[in-house]
Structure 1
Amino acid sequence: MPQQLYNPFSNFNFSNRNCFLTGEALSTSEEKIQVFPQWLMSTYGLEDKPFKLLDESMATYKDLKLPCSAAVNEQYLEPLEREIAAAFEQGYEGVSRLDDIKLFQWAGKLLYGIIFNEIQAGIRQQHAQGEEFSMSQAIIHKFTHLHLMLQSINLSLEFDEFKPFSLVLFRVNNADDVFGYRDEINTLTFSLRIKDFGIIICLQDNGTNANYHKEKLDKIIGQPLHPIQFEELNAKFFYSAYLFNRLPEYNILPVNDTIYLEAMPLRGMSSKPLFDHWVTKTYGQVLENFWKNWGFLLFEIIKNPEEPMSFLFDADGNFIPADTIQLPV
């Protein structure tokens, strides 16, 4: 008999009395895990650093927690954390040997943990104002599918001849103490730049963003990147994830003890392109934000609207080697 999937969005169950992953009742509301794993917070001294929620309230990294059954944590989540931590400790070489499904599960659990905390904060805020909490159906659709796919951690759930994500990993010449984390929960996009690597994951696009940038990725794959180059690539992915205009659909197919997920064609009944039109000025605004550390302003970035500033490619479209980049002090 197939195992039972859990959908917290069916009745909006975001209390601390049920395990976030399985829905099972917990013995105490103190049965929780950290959203940002302890090993990561300890390595980068994150525990007491501020983390801004969407309602503008401030938390710290260690404040962000998920209700989780001790048994589920011990059997499924801790082994995943140990595997990821060991790979991250080895830097790019260790991470490049990881199964990308494991990276997806780990990043997805972290991002879902932030979503869970955001929803709890939203519910509290709305109830304090005497209003019912509501979310757009499109956002619920995305979050539901992310949670469904996270159950590949604890259930026999297989992705049937597809991967639900785009994932790119690069060697990056980072400073030793850098912790570069970004997310965008509306588009389910995740980025982390630490040690000697950077990773970008679009968690719910069936590989479409990586395909959208394929021509550029083909030119830089295997090349070490300067941090400003990685952040430029980051901006491209975060912006294209915003332009991606489909809500992927999946068939759930239980077969014996395994649940198979089958991706429906993204084009569906629509003839319009999968991505909305790329607007240089908007991309420039995204890039300005990603390049904040280097102080480049929008008017510099899009001085030539046809060819925005780039540290990845020269005027002829060729990759610029990282060791040739000279930046103003």
Structure 2
Amino acid sequence: MSLRMIKDVLRPRDISTHCTLCGRSTSQQPHTQEHIFPLWLQQKHGLLNARVTIPNFTDKQYRSVKIGICGRCNNKTFGVLETRLAPAFTAADPFDTVSRQDADTLAVWLGKIHWLMARKSHSAVDHRTRHDKTPERILPGIVLDGMLYAAMFMRCFATNKGMFSCHLGDPPVPEFFYEAPYSLYRFRIDERDGRFETFDFLNNAVVGGVALRSGSVGLICLFDGGLHRRYLSERYRYLHGQALHPKQFVELSAHLFYDQTVLHEDAQKVTYYWNEHLRAVVAQTNTPRTWNPYLQEYHDPERHAHMLGFYTQQDPKDILSEDGRLFTSLKRLDGTFLPFAVTEEELAIARGDPTLQVRPPADPAIRRRLFEG
């Protein structure tokens, strides 16, 4: 039965006939309409009539972004999860309460939004090609295929099974070598800057990454077998215990999404096994534990700048210097965290700080003089 489940996830069924979370057909469990962004979350941030601006659903109201899932998933399995999380996210200090939630709960919740958005996007025709003989989907099938890792995680939770990750060549010792199949990061958000909304959502179907900011809590999750957590978490240790400005949270999300683009091809290949004793799917990454698959030779400063520009709504030319350096709001030149200046006093201190990077002006001639000098 569970081997069939693995095969079924790898061949996603039509969302009109099968629940995209548990895989049950509508003949077994009738569909109910689920808000992809929970109503309690929309109400907290006043999103009901707001427009979704992420690429998948441009110009749609949040309250209209729904998908059919079975009644069991909606009212029981994932409903219990929502009931547990709603008080935490709607508390006076969400970061404090959400920090006490276990990582699996948060990863499942983020994964549910991420996967449902992808399935909804794949089911919809791109209006620009609606008159073509074979219209394109908003989210092409080839991109959806890259999200099946997250889909497997959702299916396991929906059917009361576990999921773990391991590496090629790991000995079969679950207590030492089986790990969480994701990389989850939590951050406190600095809410003092009233120019910014209290909610933000970013996702990247290509790299299997999702980020959500709600009040004082910011969450970033990569459905990657825990690779980022294992090999690159030290790179971002300087952020530990720091409060991020909303702009910094967006930039950091873009950096983490970009990191996934420099993975060796073998690290993006996964073999799924069923472990009857643990009642769990084991996802084996096809690279050994002793080898870091994030390759410097795959790094492309221009691609990095374009990804940062896309998410931070900046011109990539204003982010990348002529010598390949990226301008950042996250850290000083000495590698320490850069608190985001909000008040006039903080801005005055920042102006006199010699360890800060100065964003180059848009004028090419001035840019040249700046970098040549």
- TM class, shorter-chain normalised? 0.7 to 0.9
- Residue 36 (structure 1) aligns with: 37
2: CA distance between counterparts of 1:11 and 1:163? 23
Where 2:211 maps in the other structure, the secondary structure is strand
Task: Give the counterpart of 1:101 among 101, 104, 120.
Answer: 104
Q: Any conservation in 2 of the 1:20–1:66 contact (CA below 8 Å)? A: no
- Residue 357 (structure 2) aligns with: none
Structure 1: runs of 5+ lacking an equivalent: none
Root mean square deviation, CA, Å: 3.5
Moved more, 216-225 or 118-127: 118-127
Instruction: Please tell me the residue identity of whatever aligns with 1:166.
Output: S
Q: Any conservation in 1 of the 2:31–2:71 contact (CA below 8 Å)? A: no
Q: Any conservation in 2 of the 1:55–1:122 contact (CA below 8 Å)? A: no
Where 1:153 maps in the other structure, the secondary structure is helix
Task: Give the counterpart of 1:243 among 262, 268, 273.
Answer: 262
Q: Any conservation in 2 of the 1:6–1:22 contact (CA below 8 Å)? A: no
User: 1:19-61 CA distances to partner (integer Å, 9 max, x unpaired)?
Assistant: 2222323269762211111111222222333336868874332
Is 1:167 paired with 2:171?
no
Moved more, 215-224 or 111-120: 215-224
Instruction: Please tell me the residue identity of whatever aligns with 2:25.
Output: A
2: CA distance between counterparts of 1:319 and 1:57? 34
Q: Any conservation in 1 of the 2:9–2:151 contact (CA below 8 Å)? A: no
1: CA distance between counterparts of 2:141 and 2:272? 19
Is 1:313 paired with 2:318?
no
Q: Any conservation in 1 of the 2:143–2:205 contact (CA below 8 Å)? A: no
- Greater gyration radius: 2
- Residue 215 (structure 1) aligns with: 234
Deviation at 1:300, TM superposition (A): 3.7
- Residue 302 (structure 1) aligns with: 320
2: CA distance between counterparts of 1:15 and 1:231? 31
Deviation at 1:7, TM superposition (A): 5.4
Task: Name the TM-score, length of structure 1 as normaliser.
Answer: 0.82
Instruction: Please tell me the residue identity of whatever aligns with 2:243.
Output: P
Deviation at 1:2, TM superposition (A): 5.8
- Residue 180 (structure 1) aligns with: 200
Task: Give the counterpart of 2:301 among 272, 280, 301.
Answer: 280
Superposed, 1:185-200 pairs within 5 Å as: 185-200=205-220
Instruction: Please tell me the residue identity of whatever aligns with 1:34.
Output: H
2: CA distance between counterparts of 1:298 and 1:72? 42
Distance 1:279 1:181, change over 3 A: same
Instruction: Please tell me the residue identity of whatever aligns with 2:156.
Output: S
Where 2:219 maps in the other structure, the secondary structure is strand
- Residue 202 (structure 1) aligns with: 222
- Residue 354 (structure 2) aligns with: none
Where 1:266 maps in the other structure, the secondary structure is strand
Instruction: Please tell me the residue identity of whatever aligns with 2:212.
Output: L
Distance 1:129 1:96, change over 3 A: same
Task: Name the TM-score, length of structure 2 as normaliser.
Answer: 0.73
Where 1:281 maps in the other structure, the secondary structure is helix
Instruction: Please tell me the residue identity of whatever aligns with 1:280.
Output: P
Deviation at 1:273, TM superposition (A): 5.1
Instruction: Please tell me the residue identity of whatever aligns with 1:49.
Output: A
Q: How many residues align?
A: 323
Where 2:244 maps in the other structure, the secondary structure is coil
Structure 2: runs of 5+ lacking an equivalent: 165-173, 352-373
- Residue 89 (structure 1) aligns with: 90
1: CA distance between counterparts of 2:146 and 2:154? 12
Deviation at 1:281, TM superposition (A): 2.8
Where 1:77 maps in the other structure, the secondary structure is helix
Is 1:258 paired with 2:279?
yes
Deviation at 1:190, TM superposition (A): 0.6
Is 1:156 paired with 2:153?
no
Percent identical pairs in the alignment equals: 20
